[in-house]
Amino acid sequence: MQTEKSFKSEIFNIIPLTAREKLFHIKICDAYEREKFTFLPGQFVMLELPGCGEVPISISSSISNKDFIELCIRKVGKVTGLLHRLEPGAIVGIRGPFGTHFPMQKMVGCNILLIAGGLGIVPLRSTIYWANEHRSDYKDITILYGAKEPGQILFDYQFEEWHKIFDLKILTIVQNRAENWEGRVGLITDLFDEVPIDPDNTFAIVCGPPVMFKFVFAHLTNVGISRQRMFLSLERRMHCGMGKCCRCNVGSIFTCLDGPVFDYWTVMNLKEAI
């Protein structure tokens, strides 16, 4: 795709997920460009509302879905606030895909442990679809998912289906106790007691708020997983997605070009990263 040109895309379906998040189904209008558009799990696009602004959003759908992409967007700022007010049929701009991806090929033959906190499940969703489509390549797939409150759990309507069809294990936990919640209460690290990890045969993908990384990686390191087998997606402010505006610069790297996906070893050696 060209660098500065955004492609007209139609939002044709909007699924409200929680009070703050909606899932947008977006189709690039031009059939040729739509066909050309490919991405890998972990990559993101710059989504633009002309006249309002541009935001980096992780792609949340399966890479084999050539018709449209799914973007799960939390209402936090000017652009996302306006996006939440759009109706199906609205036209937005898309540039990308940008960034690095989770190295799914490297993980062939191993267990995959996906650890998500809050909105962190969004980029992991395309990983889950990938793992399903190449199910025989991987051994056990486990998802540990923590949210603040039960009402903030994303994609829970799909969990049952994933569990059955994809043959994977999902454990959820919430931080704040709530009525009608019969599941676990606590921090995401509490779930580790319930998951036996085979360190030599496991890759971990971690996505969530910065505060979560430290504790999760400390545990995974203690268990014995190599730091180069743990991956994470870093969040930073981005204005261009092309390594020029420097807004996402951390130490000597650019999150948009060299990331957002990094292995823990790299991040550990980056000042200011987590």
Partner 1 sequence: MLFRTITKENFKKMVEGLMEENEVIGPKSRDRDKEGNKIYRFLKLNCFDELEMDYTRSYSSPKDYFLPFKEDLATYRLENNGWDQKIHYTIHPRIIIGMRACDINALLKLDQVMLKSAYPNPYYFARRRNTLIIGLDHEPLEDCFCRSMNTDTASHGFDLFLTDIGDRYFAAINSDTAYIVLNRFNAREVREEDQLRYKKVKKQIESKFKTQVDITILPELMDLEFESEVWKKWGDKCLSCGSCAMVCPTCYCYGVEEDIDLSFTQATKRRFLYSCNLIDFATVAGGYNFRPDAHIRLKYRYYHQFRGFEEAFNQSLCVGCNRCGKACPAGISPKAVIDDLIKTEKE
Where along the sequence are the contacts to partner 1 (CB under 8 A)? 3-6, 8, 48-55, 76-77, 80, 89-91, 93, 210, 235-237, 239-240, 242-247, 249, 251-253, 257, 271-272
| Least distance to partner 1, CB of residue 8, Å | 7
| Least distance to partner 1, CB of residue 271, Å | 5
Across-strand partners of 145?
116, 172
Lookup result for tokens 């499940």: 121
CB closer to partner 1 out of 10 and 140: 10
CB closer to partner 1 out of 89 and 196: 89
| Least distance to partner 1, CB of residue 263, Å | 17
CB closer to partner 1 out of 186 and 210: 210
ω into 88 cis (within 30 of 0): no
End-to-end distance of the chain based on CA atoms, in angstroms? 31
Lookup result for tokens 């981005």: 238
Alpha-carbon 68 to chain mean position: 17
| Least distance to partner 1, CB of residue 112, Å | 28
CB closer to partner 1 out of 17 and 90: 90
| Least distance to partner 1, CB of residue 126, Å | 21
Cα–Cα distance measured from residue 174 to residue 195, given in angstroms and rounded to the nearest whole number: 17
Q: What are phi and psi of 54, to 5 degrees?
A: -130, 140
CB closer to partner 1 out of 106 and 247: 247
Cα–Cα distance measured from residue 20 to residue 257, given in angstroms and rounded to the nearest whole number: 29
Cα–Cα distance measured from residue 16 to residue 72, given in angstroms and rounded to the nearest whole number: 10
CB closer to partner 1 out of 66 and 247: 247
Across-strand partners of 115?
144, 206
| Least distance to partner 1, CB of residue 46, Å | 10
